[in-house]
């Protein structure tokens, strides 16, 4: 059974130990270990971090970190198991993103161009993927953004 709850430190530890390769690459590009990347976001002021569980096992952790009252950085890091049931994850992700993005006019971030599963999910969730490549530490990324239409 799947559930989504506010994140706790042990979620970060579990997900960091079992993180997907593509997410590890993204962490390393920004000079963070998987655990440092998760903890940095979880400890930022006014962050909102949630964990997706299946049968009490943390599979995915993510949230928003406000940049202003209207803009936030949205992020997600996961284990490979998070994508074992893509239809269920997709349905839950729609609800989760709508929930965390609602207070903001815009949520955005970067995604590694080789992170195909994340890119496909972002498109499903209504994000615009800018095709212009952005280079960070010799790694290619796309900028993605979703604007609140309410």
Closest CA to 71 of 104, 24, 116: 104
- Dihedrals φ, ψ of 114, to 5°? -90, -5
Least confident of 73-82, 88-97, 113-122, 124-133: 88-97
Average pLDDT over residues 102-126: 94
Question: What gap in Å lies between CA 148 and CA 150, rounded to an integer?
Answer: 6
Measured CA distances, 99 to 47, 104, 113 (Å): 14, 10, 26
Q: pLDDT tier at 45 (50, 70, 90 boundaries)?
A: confident
**CATH code of residue 56:** 3.40.630.30
> Which residues constitute the domain of residue 88?
2-147
- β-pairing verdict for 48-54 and 57-66: antiparallel
As for how many domains the chain has, the answer is 1
């Amino acid at each position: 059974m799947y559930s989504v709850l506010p994140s706790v430190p042990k979620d970060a530890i579990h997900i960091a130990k079992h993180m997907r390769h593509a997410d590890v690459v993204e962490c390393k590009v920004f000079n963070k270990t998987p655990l440092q990347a998760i903890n940095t976001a979880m400890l930022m002021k006014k962050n909102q971090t949630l964990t997706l569980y299946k049968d009490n096992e943390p599979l995915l952790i993510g949230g928003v970190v406000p940049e202003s009252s209207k803009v936030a950085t949205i992020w997600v890091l996961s284990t490979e198991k998070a994508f074992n049931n893509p239809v269920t994850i997709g349905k839950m992700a729609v609800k989760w993103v709508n929930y965390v993005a609602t207070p903001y006019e815009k949520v955005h971030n970067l995604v590694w161009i080789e992170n195909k599963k994340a890119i496909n999910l972002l498109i499903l969730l209504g994000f615009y993927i800018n095709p212009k490549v952005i280079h960070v530490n010799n790694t290619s990324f796309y900028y993605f953004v979703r604007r609140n239409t309410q």
